Amino acid sequence: MLLTTSACSPSDEPVESEIPAPVPDPEPNPDPTPNPQPTDGRALVVWFSCTNTTKGIADRIVEAIGAATWRIEPETAYTSEDLNYNNSSSRANREQNDPSARPAIKSTCENLADYDVVFLGYPIWWGKAPKVIFTFLESHDLTGKTIVPFCTSHSSGIGSSDTDLHRLATEAEWKQGRRFSGNESKEVIEKWIESMDLNLNDNTNMGVFDLSNGTNGNAPTIKLSSGYDMPIVGLGTYSLHGATCVNSVKTAIAAGFRKFDTASVYGNEEEVEQGVRESGVPREEIFVATKLYPNQYSNPEAAIEECLRKLDIGYIDLMLLHHPGTNDVKAYKAMEKYVAAGKIRSIGVSCYYIKEIDEFLPKVNIKPVLVQNEVHPYYQDTEVVEHLHDLGIVVEAWYPLGGRGHQKELLSDPVLSEIAAGHDKSVAQVILRWDLQRDVVVIPGSSNPDHIEENISIFDFSLTDEEMAQIAALNRNEKHDWY
């Protein structure tokens, strides 16, 4: 059927459109969309979609760049009759014909201020953006943002639907919009994003800790490149099992820990979950990291599902690849899909050094938010730490205290002991503080309540430059474990 928008639209510029009939049933109006997590200098994909075509493109953008996403939901959902363009008095047609129509939207995107780039997606309705997009633009402050419009349609191009919107956010920088068919490939979408030079990977201040925000029992957080906040002190749970693990998690939460590091191969994800649940602290206030082991990389979806089932906390805050290995890129890409589905919030890797990370990055879409590597005063790995920081990747130390079976020498090191005595602190506390002062996250493992409390009581002193240099001089390049 060939229709012209002038048949039912008062728009200044009639657009000839071949429109298929009839519109499929839209999905029922979902619950209000949760506010996206704030990110620094990164992108947010805001979209409106009745029959999920635009949603599909929005999802591919999110997957391509790891952006946050927010759905525009009208207060009153559109029924298929509302969308019936063959009926000149259908709701959609009436709204498109009424210059003052502004359909109410369910909620406000609270965290918009935290994003620099806003991708704005909509279906073409009679050559134009639906009026609900006008409502969104008029009810949000987009000053200083870069707006990238994109649309889907049956056959029309984007026409003037994007430029018509400019007057609704005059203080924004508008990029030229682009129309996609519903089945547009991810590669095309990625090339389009790359071509705009949006500077999405601005790493300014990424990974720099503000230790003045910390108090004993209350570690500061660092903003990951995914936009989520992560405490910079956590409890490592390697080798903790059964009641020991559950009690260590509960003791740590009571002492103020809010981050836990586990892994499928540790066999204690259920105990970590039990500890979190029994602590009484809401799950949303806790950050749980787990890892896929190389023998799981060939069937990563099953492995991720198993982690989700065992942890049973709704979503995983951070998932890492435990080591490089066959199929690691495949496993990471599976994790990327779970990020897009909202089941994993942030992803990263472990035991990746300069060569490994440089080879890995071009093969994946979402930059790892974090790399977890062996780091302690006898194995400082400074070059790797600096390289990762330059890439805007947070570094986390495993074996911060030298690792089980290796603490004796490290914790009685004469230089560290003297520095510790000078601050009336333990050697363990000095080591953990040294890590934080070089912007390295720590996850000391412990099942001893006194040690647990000690390990998060490192915010009432600081090491001088001279002490930092003395510790730097202890490096022996002595690795205590490979993986």
- For 449, list phi and psi in degrees, rounded to 5: -55, -35
Nearer to ligand NAP, 86 or 239 (CB): 239
User: Of the ranges 120-128, 277-285, 359-367, 368-376, which one interacts with ligand FMN (CB under 6 A)?
Assistant: 120-128
- What is the tally of helices (H) and strands (E) in the chain? 15, 18
Cα–Cα distances (Å) from 127 to 19, 151, 273, 472, in that order, read 11, 11, 51, 64
Instruction: Using alpha carbons, select from 335, 299, 294 the residue that is nearest to residue 315.
Output: 335
Least Cβ distance, residue 101 to ligand FMN (angstroms): 13
Give the Cα separation of 385 and 264 in Å (integer): 26
Which 54-73 positions form the footprint of ligand FMN (CB under 6 A)?
54-55
Residue 231, burial from CB neighbour count under 10 angstroms (0-12, 13-18, 19+): buried
User: Of the ranges 52-60, 133-141, 366-374, 430-438, which one interacts with ligand FMN (CB under 6 A)?
Assistant: 52-60
Rule CB under 6 A: is residue 125 a binding residue for ligand FMN? Answer: yes
> Who contacts 284 (Cβ-Cβ below 8 Å, separation ≥6)?
none
Nearer to ligand FMN, 80 or 417 (CB): 80
Extended strands (E) in 160-315: 173-174, 178-180, 221-223, 229-231, 235-236, 259-261, 287-292
The answer to whether 123 and 151 are in contact (CB under 8 A) is yes
What's the helix, strand, coil split of the chain in %, to 5? 35, 20, 45
Instruction: Name residue 347's beta-bridge partners.
Output: 319
Rule CB under 6 A: is residue 152 a binding residue for ligand FMN? Answer: yes
Rule CB under 6 A: is residue 86 a binding residue for ligand FMN? Answer: no
- For 238, list phi and psi in degrees, rounded to 5: -60, 130
The one catalytic residue among 78, 85, 266, 338: 266
Binding-site partner at residue 156 among ligand FMN, ligand NAP, none, CB < 5 to 8 Å by type: ligand FMN
Binding-site partner at residue 123 among ligand NAP, ligand FMN, none, CB < 5 to 8 Å by type: ligand FMN
Instruction: Using alpha carbons, select from 325, 331, 380 the residue that is nearest to residue 352.
Output: 325
The answer to whether 370 and 346 are in contact (CB under 8 A) is yes
Binding-site partner at residue 69 among ligand NAP, ligand FMN, none, CB < 5 to 8 Å by type: none
Nearer to ligand FMN, 2 or 170 (CB): 2
Rule CB under 6 A: is residue 126 a binding residue for ligand FMN? Answer: yes
Binding-site partner at residue 436 among ligand FMN, ligand NAP, none, CB < 5 to 8 Å by type: none
Give the Cα separation of 10 and 5 in Å (integer): 8
Nearer to ligand NAP, 280 or 414 (CB): 414
Nearer to ligand NAP, 146 or 446 (CB): 446
Give the Cα separation of 200 and 41 in Å (integer): 7
Nearer to ligand FMN, 47 or 115 (CB): 47
Rule CB under 6 A: is residue 153 a binding residue for ligand FMN? Answer: yes
Rule CB under 6 A: is residue 161 a binding residue for ligand FMN? Answer: no
Instruction: Using alpha carbons, select from 267, 266, 271 the residue that is nearest to residue 252.
Output: 271
Contact with ligand FMN (CB under 6 A) among 94, 102, 106, 154: 154
**Catalytic residue check, 266:** yes
Query: Which residue is closest to ligand NAP by CB?
Result: 445
Binding-site partner at residue 85 among ligand FMN, ligand NAP, none, CB < 5 to 8 Å by type: ligand FMN
Site residues, ligand NAP (CB under 6 A): 236-238, 261, 322, 350-351, 372, 398-404, 407, 411, 426, 428, 443-448, 451, 454-455, 483
Nearer to ligand NAP, 50 or 235 (CB): 235
Contact with ligand FMN (CB under 6 A) among 46, 61, 65, 92: 92
Instruction: Using alpha carbons, select from 287, 291, 285 the residue that is nearest to residue 260.
Output: 287
- Name the pairing type of β-strands 229-231 and 221-223: antiparallel
- Would you please indicate which residues are annotated as catalytic (active-site) residues? 266
Footprint of ligand FMN on this chain (CB under 6 A)? 5, 15, 17, 19, 23, 49-55, 83, 85, 92, 123-127, 152-156, 182
